[in-house]
Structure formats: structure tokens, C-alpha cells
Chain A
Amino acid sequence: MTIRQLSIFLENRVGRLATIAKILGDAGQNIRGLSVADTQDFGILRLIVDNVDAAAAVLRQHDVVCHINEVIAVEVASTPGGLAKVLSVFVNTKINIEYMYAIAEPKTSNPVMIFRFSDPEAASQALSQAGMNVYSEKDLLQG
């Protein structure tokens, strides 16, 4: 079970992030979570939004280069060792974590983490089998 994330190419220029946020805000798109991967010259902004297709469409209208890709949303227990428990699922597997970040999720007191895995489908199955709460896009965004 995967959800879709929006990745955006950003130049390292003052105000670019604010511009993107304004475009989405004006289009009525709520940003649920974000992370920025930075290099010296450019960045990639990753967003979880209410409606990924509509958000991508409005950004493309503004000449913003973006890409939709699959990530996994997992509820992580907010107790000591909560994250370690999730990560332990992948010990001794061929599945790699490329990056992760937390998003705000009002429906649960536990944080929800977004993971990008080398093999999203296999990762999702492994997490479910280990009894983790993996969100579908519908549950996370519209539920």
C-alpha cells in the first residue's frame, strides 16, 4: 500500500519555497508534510498534499518541474524505540530506505512517517506483515 508524493525541482534561490507554497495555497491545496533535500546548487522539495494530481497540474501551469512518485506512510509509536521497531522490519532484507520524514497527522497521537524505499511494494508488504499501521492514500488524506 503506497501513497503518492509530489517532488519538485528547486533552485537554491531565496523565496522559491515560499513561491511554491503560495501557488498551492492559492489553489486551495493543503500541505500535510514536506521535506527538502538540499545540495549546494539545487534542492528537491517533497510534499504530501491533499490532492496530488490537482497540485501537480497547478504547479505545471506555473512552469514548475515536478514529478509524482510512490512512498509509504507508516504510523510510528511515540514511545522509546518506536522508530527502531519500524526499521527493524528491514534488517536482513534487500530493501533500502532512501529517505524519510515525519508529517502531521491529526487523527492519531502517534506521528506518521513517510518512507521512500528502494522497493515500495515489498516494503509495504513487510510492514503490514509485521503488524504496522500502513496508510492508504485514501485513509491518510480523505479519511
Chain B
Amino acid sequence: MTELLMKDFVDRAALERLQLERMQNTLDRVYNNVPFYKKAFDDAGVKPTDLKRLQDLAKFPFTMKSDLRNHYPFGLVASDQKDIVRIHASSGTTGKPTVVCYTQEDLGIWSETMCRTLEAGGLTNRDIVQIGYGYGLFTGGLGAHYGAERLGCAVIPMGGGATEKQLLLINDFGTTAVCCTPSFFIHMIEVAEKIGLDLRQTKLRLGFFGAEPWTEAMRNFIVEKTGIKAFDIFGLSEIIGPGVAADCEAHNGLHVFEDHYYPEIIDPDTGEVKAPGEEGELVFTTITKQAMPLVRYRTRDISSLTYEKCACGRTLVRMAKVKRRSDDMMIIRGVNLYPSQVESVILNVEGTEPHYQLVVTREKAMDELEIRVEVTPQVFTDEVKGLENLRNLLGAKIKQLIGISAKITLVEPGTIERSVGKAKRVIDLRNS
């Protein structure tokens, strides 16, 4: 156990005193250094000194992703330009990227919380860690890299893609842990099977997967196929990158590193703060970050918070694993549908690996949902009936779950596009 790890077991009263002091400093800094925040606070009629207790944060305005875009690229920077040592950017789906800046101190905070993330999964300085996230502007690669290096692991900066090379290194270097997206790791499992590499026979023992929402069913699939322990990493570049919250051995929610990133859950429609245990949109305030502190940043991720003691002994608040984003939700014939719901169904129908895609179209003012599912060698026999049964079973379970009929199309493996980053799960053709 490193000294850093002790921070996860802090006394809550002491933690809250620290949070309040840090939050007051942050509000004061942004008010005086970032014109956007000065105007936003003034418009809302609040001053940094109005924060007397942590709960007072609810009086302050939110920061939206659009605010980052509107002040592209450096409009929200609170530090002197000479103190900025790193610039990352996330690829926006529309238009310009979202830019984030770091001071040397910020990089230290990032390494620290990413290091604590890896330690929560049992990683030690004896481990060999292969980073399968993309490096570059994306925060995944460097974030995981610095965390593992801080812990003293041997780090292999492999980067994303090159699946067969990844597997070769896992086998030859005796890699004990990987960090990558869950969909990419599942792709690695498939390729390993194809080239006859049994991942159970390698030294691989831990996996840290993040950058996209994934399900318990996917964790079970990974564990079953490889025998490794699989941990969820939560983070977003606007806040710091990976390492905002960490899965522990209890797999019962992710501990938020709230001594740096203060979480709230709000009602996405009204903005009201929700009580512990209630589901809503996750909001973060960075309370130590220097270059680009964000106040009440709306993540669009749906989660909930619990302050109950965790089986692992950590006192840090836990956020429920993010299964969906508030903007991922599709409304089909008036019914709310999340891709993660469909994913669980497919995974629970035996033998089908999670390669699927939802295609939504509109025929004569009626929404139509098609679910394309790849056929695997495990479920394929010579029987037409076998495939029809599989298709009917999937259709029935989907109908049971969401109440609408979907057209299930069985497709050949490799038909659905894989990406090293986030898998494209939804194609909505209704407005095209």
C-alpha cells in the first residue's frame, strides 16, 4: 500500500473540511481570473463568499459542455499561460474539439488519482502494464500511463489498435495488466481465440476498462473468457481525464476521488440537487485543478451517489457505474431506450458476444428499430431453425424489456464497425 492510497480511507469530517476550503479557493480563483465565471456568478447573484457550507454549492450556476465550446480554445483558463504545460482535446462529434489545459500541478493531481484508481484494483509496482488506450490528444493513453508510472509499474506504451501485436506483447512480455476500452478488449479476446492464444495461459491478471459505458454482463463475459479481474475506470477529459473515480474489489460502485473532484447528482430537467441514492445526472466541481477549474460541470452521465461504507473500507463516496448518458437515450415510439439495455439482453442470450448496433428509421411517421447482431461460431450450426430460434428469442426478450417490437437482423462477424475508441452503437436515420 502506498501513502497515496491512505487518502482513500480518510475520516469523512476531515475530508469535508478539506473540500470546503478547496472549493472556496476554487470559486474565488475562477471568479477573479475567468471572465466567463465572473459573469455567470454575477448573473446568478452569487459571490464566492456565499459558499459557507458544501451544500451552498447548489446556489452556483452550472458549466455546460457548450460553454467550453463557446470559449474555444482557451477562454476558461484560470492560470497564466506560462504555467500551462499540457493541452489535450477530445474529439467532438460535432464541430470543434473540447480543449483542456494542465499546469504541472494538474498533471500531478491527474497522476495521483489515476495511480489510486489502479491501486484500488490491486495493481502494484511489480506489475507490467500495457496501455491500450490511444495516446495523443485523447487523455486515455497518457492518463493511464502516468498513473501506472507513478505507482512504479513497468509501463508498455503500446497505444490503441494493432490487436495482434497487443496479444504478442501480452504473451511475450508477460503483461499482467491492460488498460483500454472494454470494446477493444473484447475484440482482443476474439482475435486471441482466432489465432489460438489462450489468455488464461498468459500472466494477464487485471484489466482496467473505461472511456465508454459498459455493463455487468460485459464484465462477466470478460472474466469468464480470460479469468482476469476487470475494473471500471471512470473519468472525462473536461474534469481531468481517466482517474476521476475508481472501481474497487467490491465492484459495488466507483469511489470518487472527491478530495479533488467534488460530485453532485442533479435532476437533468430542473437542475435540483438529488438526495444520496437517487438517480440523476452526475455533476463535478474540480476543487484543486489550477489551469482550467470547472464549477458544477454537467457530465450528461446518469448515476447516483452513496455515502454508505463500502466493503473495501474506503470512505470515499461511491457513484453507481455509469450505464448510460442522458444524451444517449433514444425515444422510439415514445419509449425511452438505452443501448445498454439492449446490450444486456444480447449478452444474456447464450453464446452471443456483444457486437451489435441499433438502427432507427422512420417509415410513414412510425419509428422502426432494427437491432443488428453478429452471429458467432458458437451459436451457428447447420440448422436454419437454430438461427431462427436465436433471432426469435432475442426479439422476444427485447419486446419484454422495452415493450416494442424490433427487427432482429443476424449479420456476419466483422460487419459491425469496431473502433479502438468508442463503439458506434446507434445509427439514427430518422432526421436524415
Interface residues of A (CB under 8 A from B): 5, 7, 9-11, 16, 37, 39, 41-42, 44, 46, 60-61, 63-67, 69, 116
What are 15 A-B interface contacts by the 8 Å CB criterion?
A9-B375, A9-B410, A9-B412, A11-B415, A16-B412, A41-B409, A42-B410, A63-B414, A64-B413, A65-B375, A65-B377, A67-B377, A67-B380, A69-B381, A69-B382
Interface size class of B (residues with CB under 8 A): 10 to 19
> Which listed residue (A9, A16, A39, A116) contacts B380, Cβ 8 A?
A9
**List of 6 A-B pairs having minimum Cβ-Cβ separation, nearest first:** A7-B382, A63-B414, A69-B382, A65-B380, A63-B413, A9-B375
Cβ B381 vs Cβ A64 within 8 A: no
A7: nearest chain-B partner, CB-CB: B382
> Which listed residue (B377, B382, B412) contacts A116, Cβ 8 A?
B382
Given known contacts A11-B412, A65-B413, A46 and B382 CB-to-CB distance under 8 angstroms: yes
Cβ B194 vs Cβ A60 within 8 A: yes
In chain B, positions 153-194 with a C-beta closer than 8 Å to chain A are 194
A residues near B415, Cβ cutoff 8 Å:
11
- Cβ of B396 within 8 Å of any chain A Cβ, yes or no, is no
In chain B, positions 354-398 with a C-beta closer than 8 Å to chain A are 375-377, 380-382, 384, 387-388, 391
- Cβ of B401 within 8 Å of any chain A Cβ, yes or no, is no
- Cβ of B411 within 8 Å of any chain A Cβ, yes or no, is yes
The B contact surface, by secondary structure, is: loop
CB distance from A29 to the nearest CB of B (A): 19
Given known contacts A11-B411, A46-B382, A65 and B376 CB-to-CB distance under 8 angstroms: yes
A residues near B382, Cβ cutoff 8 Å:
5, 7, 44, 46, 67, 69, 116
CB distance from A124 to the nearest CB of B (A): 17
CB distance from A63 to the nearest CB of B (A): 4
Q: How far, in angstroms, from A38 to B305 measured CA to CA in the complex?
A: 52
CB distance from B422 to the nearest CB of A (A): 22
Q: How far, in angstroms, from A67 to B377 measured CA to CA in the complex?
A: 7
CB distance from B351 to the nearest CB of A (A): 12
Cβ B412 vs Cβ A39 within 8 A: no
* Given A7-B381, A39-B387, A63-B412, 15 more pairs with CB closer than 8 A: A5-B382, A9-B375, A9-B380, A11-B415, A16-B412, A41-B391, A42-B375, A42-B387, A44-B384, A44-B387, A46-B382, A61-B194, A65-B377, A65-B413, A66-B380
A residues near B409, Cβ cutoff 8 Å:
41
B409: nearest chain-A partner, CB-CB: A41
Q: How far, in angstroms, from A5 to B381 measured CA to CA in the complex?
A: 12
Q: How far, in angstroms, from A64 to B194 measured CA to CA in the complex?
A: 11
> Which listed residue (A7, A39, A66) contacts B388, Cβ 8 A?
A39
A residues near B411, Cβ cutoff 8 Å:
11
Q: How far, in angstroms, from A79 to B110 measured CA to CA in the complex?
A: 83
A38: nearest chain-B partner, CB-CB: B384
B residues near A44, Cβ cutoff 8 Å:
382, 384, 387
CB distance from A15 to the nearest CB of B (A): 12
Q: How far, in angstroms, from A9 to B398 measured CA to CA in the complex?
A: 23
Cβ A9 vs Cβ B387 within 8 A: yes
Q: How far, in angstroms, from A65 to B381 measured CA to CA in the complex?
A: 9
CB distance from A131 to the nearest CB of B (A): 28
Q: How far, in angstroms, from A11 to B380 measured CA to CA in the complex?
A: 13
A residues near B387, Cβ cutoff 8 Å:
9, 39, 42, 44
Max chain B Cβ within 10 angstroms of own Cβ: one of A5, A64, A65: A65
Cβ A64 vs Cβ B412 within 8 A: yes
